[in-house]
Amino acid sequence: MKGDQYGSHRVISPKGLLPQAAERINNDPKIFSNEILVDVIALQPTATAFGRIKNECGDNIDKIKQTIMEIVEDRGKFQDPVTKSGGILIGTIKEIGEDLEDKLDINIGDKIATLVSLSLTPLKIYQIDRIDLETEQVFCKADAILFESGIYSRIPDDLDQNLSLAIMDVAGAPAQVAMNTKPGDVVVVIGAGKAGLLCLAEAKKRVAPNGKVVCLEYLKEQCEMVKKLGIADIVLQVNGQEPLATYQEYMEAMDGRLSDFTVSTVNVPDTELSTILVTKDTGKIYFFSMSTDFVKASLGAEGIKKYVPMIIGDGYYPGHAEITYDIIRNNEKLRAYFVSRYCKNSYKRQGL
């Protein structure tokens, strides 16, 4: 039997919606003829979703496991009920529907990272084996379904699977930097988590030789890490939830020159106005974080008489997986940092 290419045949309630917006979907691992069954290795929830669950459960791993299991049992997918975000997964191809067998560039047994959100992916977890609180990765025995419209990336042989899992979760962010910046631009990246670091590295390449890359980050240790990695020209330790103070410190450091392209990657609320204030009129903002309040962003910009186009954090851009893989391949220091953080079970930790 063939299902709808977008997965609407899996929606249980409310009827008429697509899987991401639905509250409950059918996670039966018996596939339709135009679906792919994936044997899951690990989940990478979004920082927003995992952070919310961790705040609720503390560092109690058993509680976090139970919360994740309950979400998936209730919804048929991993979608945090508060933030509505999901994440991605890595796994091996277990079965390919007969209608897709001759249309795909993958085979049974291939290892992939999904590039569609867990918030729309039918998921059935049988057991959670381990949760890494540092990397926010969930290692489990589970089945997942990719729809005909689903996108994925084959995990490359030259990169560890845990590294691929970590960076594919945020691959849409550096791709937007690649597409929206040019030599001579000023690019501001707010937040220096994994998405922010990848954006900084891509921006440094794109604005050379005369542009400027500015990192705005709250944590002192992450500011120091950015400096060690050499991926920003200016690093400012600021609190993005205090927009006027952030703006004033930025303006002093940049002699009044505003940003041509600003990326917000933070996973905390109330940083929208800081992002807007440091961006010039007719510049552009990419709100990547799922913690962004788009009412605050749009009405806030209106309230300060700022005309600046804003891009919603769509995690997909054609070719975004390869753009992100290449950032890691071409930046030895950044790759060493990511390996030391996300691949500690595969490699000895590497110092910088």
Closest to 89 (Cα-Cα) out of 107, 76, 77, 101: 77
**What average pLDDT does the chain have?**
94
pLDDT tens-digit series, residues 107-138: 999 999 999 999 999 999 999 999 999 999 99
DSSP-derived pairing of the beta strands 279-287 and 259-264: parallel
pLDDT, mean of residues 265-275: 93
DSSP per-residue codes, 123-154: EEEEEEEEEETTTTEEEEEEEEEE-TT--EEE
Six-digit token pair at 280? 């010039």
Is the pLDDT assigned to residue 72 strictly greater than 50? Answer: yes
pLDDT at 345: 58
State which CATH number among 3.40.50.720, 3.30.559.10, 3.30.1330.40, 3.90.1150.10 fits the domain covering 172-318+328-332. 3.40.50.720
Is the pLDDT assigned to residue 349 strictly greater than 80? Answer: no
pLDDT tens-digit series, residues 36-71: 999 999 999 998 899 999 999 998 999 999 999 999
pLDDT tens-digit series, residues 165-211: 999 989 999 999 999 999 999 999 999 999 999 999 999 999 999 99
Six-digit token pair at 95? 């079965």
**pLDDT band per the 50, 70, 90 thresholds, residue 350:** very low
pLDDT at 82: 93
C-alpha–C-alpha distance, residues 285 and 279, integer Å? 7
CB atoms inside a 10 Å sphere around CB 55: 8
| Helix, strand or coil, per DSSP, at residue 178 | helix
pLDDT tens-digit series, residues 297-339: 999 999 999 999 999 887 778 889 999 999 999 999 999 999 9
pLDDT, mean of residues 81-87: 93
**High-pLDDT (> 70) share of the chain, %:** 97
Is the pLDDT assigned to residue 290 strictly greater than 90? Answer: no
Six-digit token pair at 297? 């962003």
DSSP per-residue codes, 305-343: T----EEE-----TTHHHHHHHHHHH-HHHHHHHHHHH-
**Where are the domains positioned within the chain?**
8-155, 172-318+328-332
pLDDT, mean of residues 14-42: 97
Least confidently predicted of 106-115, 280-289, 342-351: 342-351
